[in-house]
Amino acid sequence: MHDFVVRNGTVVNALSAEKLDIGIDGETITALGHGLLGRRVIDATDLLVFPGVIDAHTHMDIPVGGTRSSDDFFTGTVAAAYGGVTSLLDFTVGSAQTSIPLDIDRRLDDIRPSVLDVGLHAEVIGWRPEDSGQFAEARRRGVTSFKFYTAYEASGHRTSVAVMRRAFEHLADLDCVALVHCEDEDLIRSIMESLTPAQLADMATLALARPDLCEATAISQVGHVAAETGCKTHIVHVSSAKGLAAVQ
């Protein structure tokens, strides 16, 4: 007799989808099978039963362009829980005036209202090779993935290829992961310089100024750096067929 049984649902895992009962004792799944008995039972007939979803890329309570994202760590995680998300990974708010460990400490205060488990990726902004110890300190605090940008130079977010290469060498030594937002800053700038004021004021210009070539060329460049350094690298939010081909 189990504490809790989810009965007759289609249980989805990484390899299959099968009609099963799930036996739970305490907070642990202890059995998968048929005809399981429980002190409490939920009938999941005709329903899909998933493991808790992990959302690995969120932006809660983050400052952007003079405003903030619409969800904070309470409202956003409540909404996520209703959708079956049980854990998420958000980002520190980096700057050239702070350090990665300090950014982590500040973000931990923001996370406190969350109703879910939350991990962090650390933004790498204004990093210099002499700051390499920050990666090791972040790793000691449980942060093992680090976010880079190849664009947004005006706001100080862009990391040059030369600096990125040095950073990737350190991350490879620590067995950490680099996450990279890939857009070709120089290509964006060349397109923007040819636009009229009316075009610059039009939201539709965003797609014009960031064609699929912009994504693909940046991904290719980052891919070469990753291959040379051996750094495990994840290209975030790929949005085009050319970008996907560059990843492959």
Identity of the residue numbered 112: R
Q: What's the pLDDT score for residue 228? A: 97
Q: What's the pLDDT score for residue 103? A: 97
Q: What's the pLDDT score for residue 20? A: 95
Q: What's the pLDDT score for residue 64? A: 82
- Cβ–Cβ under 8 Å, residues 31 and 22: yes
For range 45-72, the mean pLDDT: 92
Q: In terms of domains, do 110 and 207 share one?
A: yes
Q: Would you say residue 66 has pLDDT above 90?
A: no
Q: In terms of domains, do 44 and 93 share one?
A: no
Q: What's the pLDDT score for residue 14? A: 85
**Average pLDDT over the chain, rounded to an integer:** 95
Q: Would you say residue 13 has pLDDT above 90?
A: no
Q: In terms of domains, do 43 and 67 share one?
A: no
Tokens standing for 153? 């130079």
Q: In terms of domains, do 139 and 200 share one?
A: yes
For range 201-229, the mean pLDDT: 95
Q: In terms of domains, do 122 and 211 share one?
A: yes
Q: Would you say residue 39 has pLDDT above 90?
A: yes
Q: What's the pLDDT score for residue 214? A: 96
* Pick from 133, 124, 9, 120: nearest CA to 58: 120
Under the banding of pLDDT at 50, 70 and 90, the label for residue 63 is confident
Entry pTM: 0.87
Q: What's the pLDDT score for residue 241? A: 97
Q: Which one is predicted more confidently, 14 or 217?
A: 217
Give the domain CATH number at 27.
2.30.40.10
Q: What percent of the chain has pLDDT over 70?
A: 100
Q: In terms of domains, do 162 and 178 share one?
A: yes
Q: Would you say residue 44 has pLDDT above 90?
A: yes
Q: In terms of domains, do 79 and 67 share one?
A: yes
CA-CA distance, 131 to 29, in Å (whole number)? Answer: 44
- Cβ–Cβ under 8 Å, residues 45 and 9: yes
What SS3 state is found at 26?
coil
Q: In terms of domains, do 147 and 220 share one?
A: yes
- Counting the structural domains of the chain, the total is 2
- Cβ–Cβ under 8 Å, residues 178 and 234: yes
- Cβ–Cβ under 8 Å, residues 192 and 223: no
For range 42-65, the mean pLDDT: 93
Q: Would you say residue 157 has pLDDT above 90?
A: yes
Give the domain CATH number at 168.
3.20.20.140
Domain of 185?
Answer: 53-247
For range 98-114, the mean pLDDT: 96
Q: Would you say residue 65 has pLDDT above 90?
A: no
